[in-house]
């Protein structure tokens, strides 16, 4: 007999929760020969009426007896009414969740294996706390960054390859919190590297597009390396393929804005650049995050403390970190270039070339 009456898998990321749920359901289904004794019920609900309907379907399923006898497997999946939402907070929903708790408490695991997957979940509520004590409770990705890195490492292992720490950091910085894309990128990189190989940082730099808020594309890399010749060549390639000046300027401003904050912290002795990125970033965040007001919790190119420390170190370490005066002068040059583009809309490449020469010729 199972130790717990049911299994409860939850987390902030619905993709990760659903994937583990599928794996667990497949494993439970292997123990049940009769396919009619396996049932999947959707717990997704947009309002109180749909919550009631979903729980009623689960109740009917749990009261059903297997046609040929033996154990049944029921997966109550995609439950979304346990979150801190309008539906989740509604008084009617809370009462229905109490009914759900009674149903699950009465499950006989010898007769029915029940799996519940939910994302997201407000763990301050009574029901998740009850599940922690009374179910096989599995929480996925309570720490977002660690969860993403864990996804990368697990997928690489499953694909028969390993991935270097630097490659993990760069991949997470480029893709961001899109777990589906992370998984696909690992499969692509594993195919390129070959079975049993090591995915290196260079592989990620060459093959993975920058879809997060990072600034790793060529012109920005060239500019902040201080290489004028490379920067001019990158600008020529960008405009040759029909590129526009505005995304280039945006990338330059975003990275420069972060570097201004890094330079200020380093000069103040609050942080230092090391092999693991910007050491001391979290300590400094405790002091300065409140300065960003209501936007402090949102990932933004304006806020240094919402960035990955390794990623920040990568930005600052791609070339010699300029002085604060140089960084401020560059920000002024970017603004002047933007104004020049408005005045000379048909000469965008020339404007950016002039700006690059002004900033890097020294």
Q: What does the H/E/C string look like for the chain? A: CCCCCEEEEEECCHHHHHHHHHHHHHHHHCCCCCHHHEEEEECCCCCHHHHHHHHHHHHHHHCCCCCCCCCEEEEEEEECCCCCCHHHHCHHHHHHHHHHHHHHHCCCCCCEEEEEEECCCCCCCHHHHHHHHHCEEEEECCCHHHHHHHHHHHHHHHCCCEECHHHHHHHHHHHCCCHHHHHHHHHHHHHHHCCCCEECHHHHHHHCCCCCCCCCCHHHHHHHHCCHHHHHHHHHHHHHCCCCHHHHHHHHHHHHHHHHHHHHHHHCCCCEEECCEEECHHHHHHHHHHHHHHHHHCCCCCCHHHCCHHHHHHHHHCCCCCCHHHHHHHHHHHHHHHHHHHHCCCCHHHHHHHHHHHHHCC
Confidence of residue 75 (pLDDT cuts 50, 70, 90): very high
Task: Say if residue 152's pLDDT is above 70.
Answer: yes
pLDDT at 339 over 80: yes
Residue 76: pLDDT band (50, 70, 90) is very high
Lowest mean pLDDT among 53-57, 170-174, 183-187, 189-193: 170-174
Q: What pLDDT does 138 receive?
A: 93
Structure tokens at 232: 């001019």
71 pLDDT above the threshold of 80: yes
Which residues neighbour 148 within 8 Å (Cβ) at sequence distance 6 or greater?
Answer: 141, 172, 177, 179, 182
* Residue 301 scores a pLDDT above 70: no
Question: Whole-angstrom Cα distance, residue 127 to residue 43?
Answer: 15
User: Under 8 Å CB-to-CB from 238, ≥6 apart: which residues?
Assistant: 218, 219, 248
Phi, psi of 178 (to 5 degrees): -95, 95
Work out the average pLDDT over 247-264: 88
Q: What is the mean pLDDT of the chain?
A: 85
Domain boundaries, the chain: 6-142, 145-207, 218-360
Query: Would strands 162-163 and 198-199 be described as parallel, antiparallel, or unpaired?
Result: parallel
Residues 6 or more apart whose Cβ sits within 8 Å of residue 60: none
Predicted confidence at residue 53, as pLDDT, reads 96
Same fold flag, 145-207 and 218-360: no
pLDDT in tens, 135-147: 999 998 654 566 7
Average pLDDT value for residue range 33-49: 89
Kindly indicate the confidence band of residue 130, based on its pLDDT and cuts at 50, 70 and 90. very high
Residue from 9, 110, 103 nearest 62 by CA:
103
Average pLDDT estimate for 337-348? 91
Instruction: Encode pLDDT of 177-232 as tens digits.
Output: 778 888 889 999 999 988 889 999 889 878 887 665 444 467 888 888 888 998 99
CA dist list (Å): 359 to 210, 334, 348, 356: 25, 10, 17, 5
How many residues are present in the chain? 362
Note the pLDDT of residue 241.
Answer: 63
Average pLDDT over residues 162-169: 88
Sign of the four-CA dihedral 177, 180, 185, 187? positive
> Above 50 in pLDDT, residue 313?
yes
Topology of domain 145-207 in CATH is Helicase, Ruva Protein; domain 3 (1.10.8)
The tens digit of pLDDT for each residue in 78-108 reads: 999 999 889 999 999 999 999 999 999 999 9
How many CA atoms, within 13 angstroms, populate the side-chain half-sphere of residue 331?
A: 16
Burial class of residue 218, CB neighbours in 10 A (0-12, 13-18, 19+): middle
pLDDT for 297:
54
CATH of 6-142, one of 3.40.50.300, 3.40.50.80, 3.40.50.620, 3.40.50.720: 3.40.50.300
What pLDDT sits at residue 217?
Answer: 65
In this predicted structure, what is the pLDDT of residue 251? 85
CATH annotation of 218-360? 1.20.272
Question: C-alpha angle 115/118/119, rounded to 5°?
Answer: 155
């Amino acid at each position: 007999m199972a130790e717990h009456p049911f299994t409860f898998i939850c987390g902030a990321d619905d993709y990760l929760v659903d994937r583990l749920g599928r794996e667990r359901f497949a494993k439970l289904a292997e123990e049940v020969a009769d396919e009619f004794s396996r049932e999947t019920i959707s717990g997704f609900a947009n309002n109180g009426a749909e919550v009631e309907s979903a729980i009623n379907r689960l109740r009917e399923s749990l009261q059903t007896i297997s046609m040929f006898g033996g154990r049944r497997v029921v997966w109550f999946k995609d439950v979304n009414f346990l979150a801190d939402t309008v539906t989740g907070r509604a008084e009617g929903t809370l009462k229905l969740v109490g009914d759900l708790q009674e149903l699950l408490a009465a499950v006989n695991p010898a007769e029915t294996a029940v799996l519940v997957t939910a994302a997201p979940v407000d763990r301050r509520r009574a029901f998740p706390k009850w599940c922690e004590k009374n179910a096989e409770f599995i929480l996925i990705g309570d720490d977002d960054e660690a969860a993403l890195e864990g996804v990368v490492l697990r997928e690489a292992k499953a694909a028969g390859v390993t991935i270097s720490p630097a490659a993990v950091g760069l991949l997470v910085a480029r893709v961001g919190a899109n777990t589906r894309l992370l998984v696909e990128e690992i499969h692509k990189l594993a195919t390129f590297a070959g079975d049993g190989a090591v995915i290196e940082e260079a592989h990620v730099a060459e093959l993975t597009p920058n879809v997060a808020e990072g600034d790793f594309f060529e012109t920005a890399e060239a500019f902040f390396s201080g290489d004028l010749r490379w920067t001019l060549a990158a600008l020529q390639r960008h405009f040759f393929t029909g590129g526009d000046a505005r995304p280039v300027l945006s990338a330059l401003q975003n990275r420069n804005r972060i570097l201004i904050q890094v330079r200020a912290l380093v000069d103040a002795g609050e942080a230092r650049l090391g092999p693991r990125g910007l050491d001391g970033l979290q300590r400094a965040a405790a002091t300065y995050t409140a300065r960003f007001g209501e936007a402090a919790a949102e990932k933004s190119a304006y806020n240094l403390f919402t960035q990955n420390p390794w990623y920040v170190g990568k930005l600052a370490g791609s070339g010699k970190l300029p002085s604060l005066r140089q960084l401020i002068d560059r920000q002024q040059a970017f603004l002047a270039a933007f104004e020049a583009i408005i005045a000379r809309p048909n000469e965008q490449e020339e404007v950016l070339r002039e700006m690059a020469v002004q900033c890097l010729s020294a």
